[in-house]
Structure 1
Amino acid sequence: MIRPLAMIAAATLLGTVIASPAQAAPEWHKGIPPIATPWTAQVGPSNALPEYPRPQLVRDKWQNLNGVWEFAKAETGQAVPAGQSLGERVLVPYPIESALSGIQRHEDRMWYRRTFTVPAGWKIGSGQRLLLHFGAVDYDAKVYVNGTQVATHRGGYDGFDIDVTTALKATGPQELIVWAEDLTDATGQPIGKQRRTSDRGIFYQGSSGIWRTVWMEPVAAAAVTDLGLTPDLAGKSLRLTVNVDSNQPLTAQANQPLTVRATARSNGRVVGSVTGAAGTELKVPVPNAHLWTPDDPYLYDLDVTLLNAGRTVDTVKSYFGMREIGTKKGADGKLRIALNGKILFNMATLDQGFWPDGLNTAPTDAGLKFDLQQHKVMGFNAVRKHIKVEPDRWYYWADKLGLLVWQDMPAANTGPIPAEWRGQFEAELHELVREHRSWTSIIAWVPFNEGWGEWDRAATGRIADEVKAQDPSRLVNAHSGVNCCNSHGDSGRGDVIDHHQYLGPATPAPDATRVSIDGEHGGFGLKVSNHMWFGDGQAYEMEPDSATLTAKYVANQKAVIGSAQSCGISAAIYTQITDVEGELNGFWTYDRQVAKMDLAQVRKVNKEIIAKADGSAANTPQPPPGTPGLTGIAFYPLDGTTEDTAGDHDATLVGGPAYGEGKSGQGLTLDGSTQYADTGAPVLNTASDYTASAWVKLDKADGAFQTVVSQDGASNSDFFLQYSGADQRFAMSFAGVRALAPAKPVVGQWYHLAGVRDSAKGELRLYVDGQLAGSVSACTAQAAPTGNTVIGRGKYGGNPVDYLDGTVDQVHLYDRALSATEIASLYTSGN
């Protein structure tokens, strides 16, 4: 967007910076990063990201302003240092904390300065204007040309353009000064993973100041500023809006409307053309479209000409892909993501976009491309750009290589965004969508991650609706990791239900209107000596060698197939493409020097997932009817004995619990230490449906977990009918998945609990006192039972845990999912 002020800004050539004649000019020196990428040594003053930075709107004439600039720390309230040489040298566009910048430290406020010369052939002022473009400056910026302030901008991830024509001197060098302020996590500004000081965990070194390409170009008095490109498969066309800036008179044709002629080409052959008014939606015909897919990322060329009274005033080149993202029911009846009307599982990595030499900025365009190329090498068809926004060339490579992009909004701090910053967050979110709405690869917007910055569930839903209204052509994932961390809960809005689970995979089920995805899982790690940012680090689970790491990945991804087939997830996002600082869970080391897994095996299993996870499998088999009646296959009245009065699985007391007053007669009183009752066998077939019920009275209800009934699994209990200390509520749970009651129980009061596993519906349900209290998606198939059913404790991480502190009575076990009516009758009976 061109943002002219009353006086406007600058142009810049890779010319010589003016130095004080009293002393030799300071020199730029590349810093030494803790570890170097294959591209670190290639970066220097003459080739700092020299590529054309805007692939979707290309003009022939332009001048890159990257290179060595003057630099200095800025003091609060300091006057603009116009005409003064600054004492340090920085390599633009690398953030000042990075080694490639040559500064390699943080400053809250800073000055940049250089001179530039406008090429004589550009004829600025003779019907031509000069635009200055900033790809991104983190965070607040002021721009001065020849001592005059020409622009201000707030936002660290979006670009801004300035018409600087009126601020230029008639001849000679022009002075350009940029002031920037970046307080990072000291404010409520959107920062993503940046922190002023890395925590050696999931947050990283910040990136301040100019961090994307700075460049200039001449344009006519009326010029194209932006192209809105939306493929329309049903209409066999490209919906095109050509936005124009025309804030100066157009001489004799001033009163004539501006028109646009747009022509689409396939391999040089014209496939469609349209002429119409600028600023309105036009339809460029694209008959018999060659569709864009990850396996065949076909792109059309687009020529756009701006005309005034039939005279050409501006010409730009662009491109587009014909593709459509939506949803569709699979053969199993579950709603799934569809590309071009066909269900396509999105197999992605979490891509943070950090670099040990350039931090937020990739050292070279080849480096920027490398991460995306490796996605293709490893058989991925998608990528989640995790709470960061990349330069345009990143999305260009995603378009060219064929990757579906889930684009996050950079988060603020993890706590609720302060009220005075919420409007800024929303403004930057909508600007993100506006600037990136034409990339073929982007198929989803993600406003929130794990509740970071979220202040209100209703506001989250409203924001999701507003993003969808802004761009109806893509999916909106209101809240990635809605089950996690600082989340305020599911707003019910958007197109996606997204859970995170480490090591995972997550298993949310779709509903009638929203697909479900595993938004983050995995996180297996490996240390590689001499390729770690801190010389050490961690992951969710560390492995001893590459072979073990690869095997863990393959096994974990096989489980993704099960989650897709049983639960209906449409995407899975593995953490992550590379290590980042202290996180060692990448396919590649942080320096992109070492692949940590056998990538051939990675590719094979990823391709298998995409092939098998399309919803074509038959519906989940119905479980057998089970044993009728309300007695169950095992019943423990606990009236002074652990006899199973319905079957032959009499229990044994462990740890010396006693009998006391029960709900009906006597009950088993446990002290919360090591006491429980062991039935001596796996009473329940956990591979099918089942129900466990009991009366329980707690002697305490604090932050500790207490299990009423469970069945031991290989490492964790197959299920837990429990009091969840983390939530301080009753729950029916699997490890990491809980159907929760709405309120905290009262100590000393009897409650009837019934936990139901319904495999056909893919649910866990909890009933309290005969009423449904909570349910949760739990759709993955459980393994056959391996351990004993127990009363009064659970098992987690291979160890006995969560001992009950209270009294339990009337325990029933059923080989079917009891209905709500049956559970209400069981409660009413008092048994």
Structure 2
Amino acid sequence: MAAVTLLAVGTAGAAGAAPAPEAGPAWHKGIPPIATPWTAEVGPDNALPEYPRPQLVRSRWQNLNGVWEFGKAAVDQAPPVGQELGERVLVPYPIESALSGIQRREDRMFYRRTFTVPTDWKVGKGQRLVLHFGAVDYDAKVWVNGTQVATHRGGYDGFDIDVTDALKGKGPQELIVWAEDLTDATGQPIGKQRRVSDRGIFYQGSSGIWRTVWMEPVAVSSISSLTTTPDVGASQLKIKVNTVRGDGLTVRAVARSNGKVVGRVTGAAGTDLKLPVPNAKLWSPDSPFLYDLEVTLLSGKKSLDTVQSYFGMREIGTKKGADGKLRIALNGKILFNMSTLDQGFWPDGLNTAPTDAGLKFDLQQHKDMGFNAVRKHIKVEPDRWYYWADKLGLLVWQDMPAANTGPIPEPWRDQFESELHEMVKEHASWTSIIAWVPFNEGWGEWDRTATGRIADDVKKQDPSRLVNAHSGVNCCNSKGDSGKGDVIDFHQYLGPASPAPDATRVSIDGEHGGYGLKVSNHMWFGDGQAYEMTPDSATLTRKYVENQRAVLTAAQSCGISAAIYTQITDVEGELNGFWTYDRQVAKMDFTQVRAINQEIIAKADGTATNVPQPPAGTPGLTGIAFYPLDGTTEDAAGDHDATLVGGPAYVAAKNGQGVDVNGSTQFIDTGAPVLNTASDYTASAWVKLDKADGAFQTIVSQDGASNSDFFLQYSGADQRFAMSFTGVRALGPSKPEVGRWYHVTGVRDSVAGELRLYVDGELAGRTGACLPQAAPTGNTVIGRGKYGGNSVDYLDGTVDQVHLYDRALSATEIKALFDSGQ
């Protein structure tokens, strides 16, 4: 496409990069623990030479990547103006990386080099010189010829500096950059970076300059950025041309398809314009068509500045499927988002890909394996990463880099929100980005109401995309569901997670999977782990395919709109990638991976209405089994007589007698699977706890192959009553009192796709549980559970009046049962 040709022109301009310092020690590439296919290609003359800003291209520019002087800095140290520094670093690779040549951590550092402004740029004679920093982690100060020209805070966003007034003469100009990065010692947004890798889910940090540094001449009045938003319904592109000193000037925007003009618009700079795009060719993962865009800043008829850009026409929204469940839609059609978790770390460059080919590689692998989406996990990439996502056709879920896992300290909260909104602003025009994710698993969250407000603020800033307020709202440090945003997002390892959508929000599996495989000589630490390890590639592939079939079931039965598998590559000690960390070894059979991924996308389109309707069940409030426990374990409703195990005693109870169990060895066994767990059912009992601490206690359950099919329980982790599946709990509102009788009822409703808990006849909690359950395999038991193949969670208290039903009781029936005292 023409947009690619324009990028090639920009790249050619980089060939005239300013020479690196010649005096002093030489730069030497470090040796990473493992090398990528591109490690050997990186050197002083080709450190990311590509034009770094694909959406606003000018032909004249100069790349300042390459060898710079480097030195450790102290707090408040004066800039080393005119002083040679003792080391050499390759910019833009972070100093901890092997490619930088430093390969160690420093809290504070100086960079220094000289540059020469080409005389034909005519800077100072109608032209200005702008320095561009793609990103510096974290606090930065910049001096040109001893004059401080900028400060900047934020490790994931770029900044631009007009340095014209600091230039001296026509010869070499001195450029010094100071950077400070304290990483997890502060409340700054850091993503997965840590000062020291934990060899688990957090990794080696990346400090200092880590994206391209470059310069270009611009007119006194010039275009600074473009904000473009496709409006498919109106067949137009909304465009705002942001300028420097552009007040009172005019802009002209022209859209082209394969060189042919398809639309144009002229209007005031800095205002919202509408560029017609009739009969638009829509962008999608299957057809990622991009239009070329040329924008000119005019004073009357005189052209002051011209830039080249591009855009795609696409619309992201929601739509109900045939089953009535709300799902994600692209261009008005339901499209399941089949994604991986992409963390964007490299063993040779850490935060920075070694080459543009490497940057493209991970995204191309998504396409080759049949994925149509990618979750950029708590990191923001250089612009060329989003360019490749646009061009290859991938739907991007963009996370905000998290702070530490605990609540962000109050002094840092405004900074977090500022960087979040800057991220949205800087990436507002990328076609591939379809969703913003402010929080992950509650990391950094300080208040659920604040999280909801932040989600609303992002939606107000960008109403054209989805907002996922908190990915993994069911997990870890989450403050709970704020009810805000467009997405309900659960994490479950190994999963998949299966939350159901509600009336206004789609649901997704935000993280699942994580099967691992060790590959000798291709591991960062020589060892590592995953959520479940496998012995070989064939087993790993089989586990993946089986797990993905469960994703399809979750999509068809529960209505999830996306599934995000962890992860595209290994990262340091995490060995759960499709590829090894060095991108040298493919760990699965990608033919099978592609086939199951494409099957999910094809079949999870909202057309399936195959949720089975359960039979009517046995009428009345007695149930299919009833244990009054009045001196006997006989079934008063049927023939499922039970047996006392471990010698529990009959005692005075809620209604006559009940059974007192000791919390360690005693329970009641019915000798058979009373409930058909593949359909709807209800379990109800009166219970009095003798203790209510951090230990789990099971009132009624039914043994499965490894875990109980369900648990009507006291959840020690939450210190509340619950109706649960493994990993899913419908929780009561408060901690029960020791020594008090409670009527506790758990309902499995497969049609609604949920578990419900009732306490004393009132609805106390509900949660999504829409995946079909397997047929029963073990006995129904009273007073204990089963987990990991072991008997666990013994009840410490007294149980009475146990009813089991082959249907989902209504709220009215449960209230009547409670009122009866039975």
TM-score, normalised to structure 1, is 0.96
Name the structure 2 match of 1:576: 567
Q: CA deviation at 1:77?
A: 2.0
Secondary structure in 2 matching 1:423: helix
Q: CA deviation at 1:823?
A: 0.6
Name the structure 2 match of 1:179: 178
What is the total number of aligned residue pairs between the two structures?
Answer: 809
Quote the Cα distance in structure 2 between the aligned partners of 1:374 and 1:230. Answer: 28
Secondary structure in 2 matching 1:490: coil
Quote the Cα distance in structure 2 between the aligned partners of 1:82 and 1:591. Answer: 40
User: Which of 357, 367, 372 is matched with 1:381 structurally?
Assistant: 372
Q: Is contact 2:541-2:588 (8 Å) kept?
A: yes
Secondary structure in 2 matching 1:473: coil
Provide Cα deviations, 1:706-764, integer angstroms capped at 9, x if missing partner: 10100111111110000101101100000000000011111111111000001111110
Residue 117 of structure 2 is aligned to residue 118 of structure 1: yes
Q: Is contact 1:567-1:762 (8 Å) kept?
A: yes
Quote the Cα distance in structure 2 between the aligned partners of 1:18 and 1:458. Answer: 53
Quote the Cα distance in structure 2 between the aligned partners of 1:673 and 1:530. Answer: 48
Name the structure 2 match of 1:641: 632
Q: Is contact 2:407-2:443 (8 Å) kept?
A: yes
Name the structure 2 match of 1:35: 34
Quote the Cα distance in structure 2 between the aligned partners of 1:544 and 1:641. Answer: 51
Residue 70 of structure 2 is aligned to residue 79 of structure 1: no
Q: CA deviation at 1:16?
A: 4.2
Q: Is contact 2:21-2:68 (8 Å) kept?
A: no
Q: Is contact 2:15-2:49 (8 Å) kept?
A: no
Q: Is contact 1:12-1:117 (8 Å) kept?
A: no
Secondary structure in 2 matching 1:31: coil
Secondary structure in 2 matching 1:462: helix
Name the structure 1 match of 2:202: 203
Name the structure 1 match of 2:10: none
Secondary structure in 2 matching 1:718: strand
Name the structure 2 match of 1:299: 290
Q: CA deviation at 1:622?
A: 2.3
User: Which of 655, 661, 668 is matched with 2:652 structurally?
Assistant: 661
Q: Is contact 1:722-1:732 (8 Å) kept?
A: yes
Q: How does 1:507-656 map to 2 (within 5 A)?
A: 507-618=498-609, 620-656=611-647
Quote the Cα distance in structure 2 between the aligned partners of 1:661 and 1:118. Answer: 94
Q: CA deviation at 1:17?
A: 4.7
Quote the Cα distance in structure 2 between the aligned partners of 1:69 and 1:353. Answer: 25
Q: Is contact 1:673-1:803 (8 Å) kept?
A: yes
Secondary structure in 1 matching 2:112: strand
Name the structure 1 match of 2:93: 94
Quote the Cα distance in structure 2 between the aligned partners of 1:548 and 1:658. Answer: 49
Q: CA deviation at 1:257?
A: 2.3
Name the structure 2 match of 1:827: 818
Amino acid at match of 2:261: V
Q: Could you say if the C-alpha distance between residues 107 and 12 of structure 1 is closer, same or farther in structure 2, counting changes exceeding 3 Å?
A: farther
Quote the Cα distance in structure 2 between the aligned partners of 1:375 and 1:158. Answer: 25
Secondary structure in 2 matching 1:383: strand
Provide Cα deviations, 1:647-688, integer angstroms capped at 9, x if missing partner: 111112222222222111111111111211111111111111
Amino acid at match of 2:53: R
Quote the Cα distance in structure 2 between the aligned partners of 1:439 and 1:490. Answer: 29
Provide Cα deviations, 1:151-173, integer angstroms capped at 9, x if missing partner: 00000000000000000002210
Secondary structure in 2 matching 1:218: strand
Q: Is contact 1:379-1:602 (8 Å) kept?
A: yes
Q: CA deviation at 1:12?
A: 13
Name the structure 1 match of 2:5: none
Quote the Cα distance in structure 2 between the aligned partners of 1:660 and 1:115. Answer: 89
Residue 735 of structure 2 is aligned to residue 744 of structure 1: yes
Provide Cα deviations, 1:29-86, integer angstroms capped at 9, x if missing partner: 0001010000000000000000000000000000000000000000112111000000
Q: Is contact 1:331-1:619 (8 Å) kept?
A: no
Name the structure 1 match of 2:308: 317
Name the structure 2 match of 1:108: 107
Secondary structure in 1 matching 2:452: helix
Name the structure 1 match of 2:132: 133
Q: CA deviation at 1:18?
A: 4.9
Quote the Cα distance in structure 2 between the aligned partners of 1:99 and 1:698. Answer: 60
Provide Cα deviations, 1:455-496, integer angstroms capped at 9, x if missing partner: 001100100001000000000000000000000100000000
Q: CA deviation at 1:641?
A: 1.2
Secondary structure in 1 matching 2:553: helix
Residue 417 of structure 2 is aligned to residue 417 of structure 1: no
Quote the Cα distance in structure 1 between the aligned partners of 2:735 and 2:115. Answer: 68
Single out whichever of 77-86 and 653-662 deviates more from structure 2.
Answer: 653-662
Quote the Cα distance in structure 2 between the aligned partners of 1:788 and 1:506. Answer: 27
Residue 207 of structure 2 is aligned to residue 216 of structure 1: no
Amino acid at match of 1:181: E
Residue 166 of structure 2 is aligned to residue 167 of structure 1: yes
Provide Cα deviations, 1:131-182, integer angstroms capped at 9, x if missing partner: 0000000000000000010000000000000000000002210000000000
Secondary structure in 1 matching 2:708: coil
Name the structure 1 match of 2:348: 357
Residue 274 of structure 2 is aligned to residue 283 of structure 1: yes
Name the structure 1 match of 2:153: 154
Q: Is contact 1:12-1:118 (8 Å) kept?
A: no
Residue 358 of structure 2 is aligned to residue 367 of structure 1: yes
Amino acid at match of 1:116: F
Name the structure 2 match of 1:62: 61
Secondary structure in 1 matching 2:813: helix
Q: Which runs of 5+ in 2 are unaligned?
A: 1-13
Provide Cα deviations, 1:517-551, integer angstroms capped at 9, x if missing partner: 00000011111111100111111111111111110
Residue 273 of structure 2 is aligned to residue 274 of structure 1: no
Secondary structure in 1 matching 2:455: helix
Q: Is contact 2:206-2:351 (8 Å) kept?
A: yes
Quote the Cα distance in structure 1 between the aligned partners of 2:450 and 2:643. Answer: 53
Q: Is contact 2:494-2:512 (8 Å) kept?
A: yes
Q: Could you say if the C-alpha distance between residues 159 and 353 of structure 1 is closer, same or farther in structure 2, counting changes exceeding 3 Å?
A: same
Amino acid at match of 2:639: D
Q: Is contact 2:119-2:170 (8 Å) kept?
A: no
Q: How does 1:226-237 map to 2 (within 5 A)?
A: 226-237=225-236
TM-score, normalised to structure 2, is 0.98
Name the structure 1 match of 2:6: none
Q: Is contact 2:360-2:388 (8 Å) kept?
A: yes
Secondary structure in 2 matching 1:555: helix
Quote the Cα distance in structure 2 between the aligned partners of 1:591 and 1:753. Answer: 54
Q: Is contact 2:18-2:62 (8 Å) kept?
A: no
Q: Is contact 1:96-1:207 (8 Å) kept?
A: yes
Residue 734 of structure 2 is aligned to residue 735 of structure 1: no
Quote the Cα distance in structure 2 between the aligned partners of 1:815 and 1:199. Answer: 49
Provide Cα deviations, 1:189-236, integer angstroms capped at 9, x if missing partner: 000000000001110000000000000000000111010110111111
Q: Is contact 1:710-1:719 (8 Å) kept?
A: yes
Quote the Cα distance in structure 1 between the aligned partners of 2:393 and 2:19. Answer: 41
Identity %: 83
Quote the Cα distance in structure 2 between the aligned partners of 1:608 and 1:805. Answer: 48
Residue 698 of structure 2 is aligned to residue 707 of structure 1: yes
Residue 466 of structure 2 is aligned to residue 475 of structure 1: yes
Name the structure 2 match of 1:251: none
Q: CA deviation at 1:619?
A: 5.7
Residue 44 of structure 2 is aligned to residue 45 of structure 1: yes
Quote the Cα distance in structure 1 between the aligned partners of 2:279 and 2:614. Answer: 47
Quote the Cα distance in structure 2 between the aligned partners of 1:628 and 1:572. Answer: 40
Name the structure 1 match of 2:457: 466
Residue 764 of structure 2 is aligned to residue 773 of structure 1: yes
Amino acid at match of 1:144: W
Q: Is contact 1:13-1:115 (8 Å) kept?
A: no
Q: Which runs of 5+ in 1 are unaligned?
A: 1-10, 248-255
Quote the Cα distance in structure 2 between the aligned partners of 1:142 and 1:765. Answer: 57
Quote the Cα distance in structure 2 between the aligned partners of 1:210 and 1:353. Answer: 16
Amino acid at match of 2:367: K
Q: CA deviation at 1:264?
A: 0.6
Q: CA deviation at 1:15?
A: 3.8
Quote the Cα distance in structure 1 between the aligned partners of 2:169 and 2:24. Answer: 27
What is the alpha-carbon root mean square deviation over aligned residues?
1.1
Quote the Cα distance in structure 2 between the aligned partners of 1:171 and 1:352. Answer: 44
Q: Is contact 2:127-2:219 (8 Å) kept?
A: yes
Quote the Cα distance in structure 2 between the aligned partners of 1:136 and 1:114. Answer: 17
Quote the Cα distance in structure 2 between the aligned partners of 1:116 and 1:541. Answer: 52
Name the structure 2 match of 1:502: 493
Q: CA deviation at 1:14?
A: 3.9
Quote the Cα distance in structure 1 between the aligned partners of 2:142 and 2:684. Answer: 69
